[in-house]
A and B are shown apart, each in its own frame.
Chain A
Amino acid sequence: MKKTSLAAGGGILLSSLPVSSSAYAAANDVINVAVVGCGGRGTGAANQALNADEGVKIVALADLFRDRLDDCYNTLTQAHPDGDRIDVPEEHKFVGFDGYKNAIELADVVILATTPGYRPAHFEEAVRQGKHVFMEKPLGTSADGVRRILQAGREAEQKNLNVVVGLQRHYQTNYHEALKHVHDNKIGKITAGQVYWNSAGVWVRERQPDQTELEYQNRNWYYFNWLCGDHILEQHIHNIDVANWFIGEYPVSAQGMGGREVRTGKDHGQIYDHHFVEFTYPSGAVIASQCRHQPDTFSRVAEHFQGTYGTLEVDSSNKALIKDHDGVVLYDHDGMNDPNPYQVEHDKLFAAIRNGDVISDTENGAKATLSAIMGRMATYSGQVITWDQAINAQDKMVPDNMTWDTPPPVMPDENGNYPVPKPGITSVLGEESTVSRG
């Protein structure tokens, strides 16, 4: 299953020139990769980088927690037992809030896969140091973070840096085939759609007796807004992004509702277990977006669109089904042998680095992030939120220059419960703007 043929021949000695100085790597240069954020996803992305290009070496790891870092190192060593492709001496293992800076220094390409709240700071640093980037979605948890990402993204483009964002549907064959048919006008103009991430939910990491509040929140990060941004952002961003992509616009406004009915325990922090949002686009298209984390309920992760001529159903399990309004099938994608989109992301990234091409996913990634945040602002506040309000929100959530002594941005009450947003009461745009109650 592993690709081994990218470098010419198996026995060639790889030279070790820094590729970022020229933003171009000759076919047999070593490409040094650092992983910032060593959870399951960071480890998976590192594996895909290794499989994408035989010249890739993992040279540095950074994580808040030593045990997570060690798990990543051990897993990568298991997956790539031969040779010295996992070349991370003890002094290149960085634990704590600041380790990312050191890890980035050692690399030509950095994988940013920490909890999303930290992404803006990490991306800024990678761009400042002139490194190519693979970064996971979402690109932040607040409008403040999105603005920082957009700014750093412009700098990355000036430096000809490759930036691939882990919205992997953009690297998935059935989506591209479906989009071709949309551009061929098979379904006409998209007027409406429904996008879904309805599932049972994700892991919970219970509080351990020896943890500080800040460590607990970082371990159980999914349930804290400053770190995760709620599941409408952390997962459902994929489906909202597809709506933006296929319509070819970003939404002008969002309004919706949400709450928590089932997932209401102390270890469930602050986030909702369901959101339902209407996104309105400049063209007039309206997308109904639903995301739910409730066990034993109807599950669906997919995107459906209705156009003036027909309908399209597409999903991450390689489906793309186009019908006219009489139900006649116009296109039915056979995705049995489609490649792994997570692998394609890295294949394209490293090929672009080798070839001197530039991939710039930052702006769309940032705007997809903002779209989902706008939906969250709508469900938390119960108000209509416009794009302009969202992008200008004064909503900084992640403290600068964090240490283990930094007070967490949110604290539990005397019973151990965290504040949960309340529609009609919660304000989401910050002190400097107001929400229309029209």
Chain B
Amino acid sequence: MKSFKFVRKLPNLSILLLCMVLPFFLLSCKGTEVQTVSTPNQSTEQEQSVSEPVSSMEISEYTADIPGSEEEIEMVLVPGGTYDMGPFQDSGTYEVKVDSFWIGKYEITWDEYNLFRNEMLEDIRSQVYKNLYGVDIDSDAVSSPTLTEEALDLLRDNDIPADIISLPSPPYSDVTAGMGTNGFPAVSMTHYSAFMFTKWLTVKTGDFYRLPTEAEWEYACRAANSNSYEPIKNQSELNEHAWYRGNSNRKYHQPGTKEPNPLGIYDMLGNVAEWTFDQYHEDYTSILEHNPADNPYFKPTELYPRAVRGGSWMDSAEAVSCIQRRGSDPSWKMRDPQLPKSLWWHTNAPFVGLRVVRPINEPSSVDEMEEYWIEAIQDYN
């Protein structure tokens, strides 16, 4: 009967810290690159405890291994600050405060996204309960496509949702539009699918990943620079930084083949447009509260529109900037022949992809994480 045992979740980052205090460990920590540490008195803190809260450390770069694979995601620190977001169409700028976070140096590629696509539900389910809720469920209880009654009872008794993660169904058609997979950016996923990818990554790594908020995305794009924003007007300079309609040859390209921004982040402009966390609001500034707005975001409650940033290989030069905003649209699933339409795939959006962020101030419990997760909404358009 005893199918649960409670285990204490060891924060993944403690392994990273261990590598720093004991330099000879560095070589043995495959795939973990640590470059600088910005917190004063770090060594004494680290010596005291390897499980020091993450927020006290601001590592400028690290590499997240995806367990069980050869893939890794390189993350870059965006130090927090205050900046004038925008200018927005018709409504000028708005002062916004953003806390420190790490952001993916590159857009997520098919190699990474396909790990999520090819994941087996029965495998990931037990990891969800263990890594997020700290409970071990009898593997027999979760190994079949449907959970056993006993497992459901146990989940209910422990106040754990049974359907915490779901996985993509196969797409109807070719979601790459023939543009290639290996090393190329993942595209065509719905906002819900991109969200679920970050949840999956959270379960896999034990660290909290999510999509960047619009405010974070723009701040990272501007390289945490609080000066007023000047879009790149010079064509040849834009060519150095971005794949867009003028130079993309009608397709996406491998991330990292253009010059990065001053923080070392690639392809914020162009290549693939990127999902953000937010519901898209045309009147973004008028619904912000406080001045400066404190880490603003708008959790999606409607299926459309949701906010996309950065412009893509299909867009004109003017649409490739840190301030250009776009909302998703039902026409992005135009050629889905079924009803309800796919929760997971767009048929007409081979231009939208994603990158992930990890806030320095991680939610301290699963309950807090749940604030950042969204429910699926069926598409009857």
Q: Which A residues fall within an 8 A CB radius of B?
A: 1, 39-41, 43-47, 75-76, 78-79, 168, 196-203, 206, 295-296, 298-302, 315-318, 340-342
Contact = CB atoms under 8 A, between A and B. Distances in A.
Nearest to B338: A40
Given A1-B330, A75-B380, A206-B145, A301 B174 contact: yes
19 contacts: A40-B339, A41-B338, A45-B337, A47-B339, A47-B380, A75-B340, A198-B174, A201-B170, A202-B170, A296-B114, A296-B118, A298-B180, A299-B178, A300-B174, A317-B177, A317-B347, A318-B348, A340-B335, A341-B335
A315 B177 CA distance: 9
What 5 A-B pairs come out closest when comparing CB atoms?
A40-B338, A79-B380, A300-B178, A44-B339, A301-B174
Interface residues of B, number: 31
Contacts of A342: 335, 337
A231 B176 CA distance: 20
A126 B178 CA distance: 39
Q: Is the interface of B mostly helix, strand, loop or mixed?
A: loop
A215 B276 CA distance: 44
B381 A1 contact: yes
Interface in B143-158: 145
Contacts of B89: none
B339 A298 contact: no
Given A75-B340, A203-B170, A317-B350, A299 B176 contact: yes
Contacts of B178: 196, 299-302, 315
B378 interface: yes
Which DSSP category, helix, strand, loop or mixed, fits chain A's interface?
A: mixed
B169 interface: yes
A186 B39 CA distance: 67
Given A78-B380, A79-B339, A340 B334 contact: yes
A301 B330 contact: no
Most B CB within 10 A of own CB, among A40, A44, A298, A317: A317
Given A299-B174, A316-B335, 7 more contacts: A40-B340, A43-B339, A79-B339, A196-B178, A199-B170, A203-B170, A315-B177
A217 B312 CA distance: 44
Contacts of B347: 317
B231 interface: no
B173 interface: yes
A318 B347 CA distance: 11
B14 interface: no
B32 interface: no
Contacts of A315: 177-178
A69 to B, nearest CB: 14
Contact of A75 (B330, B334, B339): B339
A295 B118 contact: yes
B363 interface: no
B181 interface: yes
B53 interface: no
Contacts of B262: none
Contacts of A203: 169-170
B183 interface: no
A206 B146 CA distance: 12
Contacts of A41: 337-338
B171 interface: yes
B275 to A, nearest CB: 20
Nearest to A201: B170
Interface centre among B169, B174, B380 (most CB of A within 10 A): B174
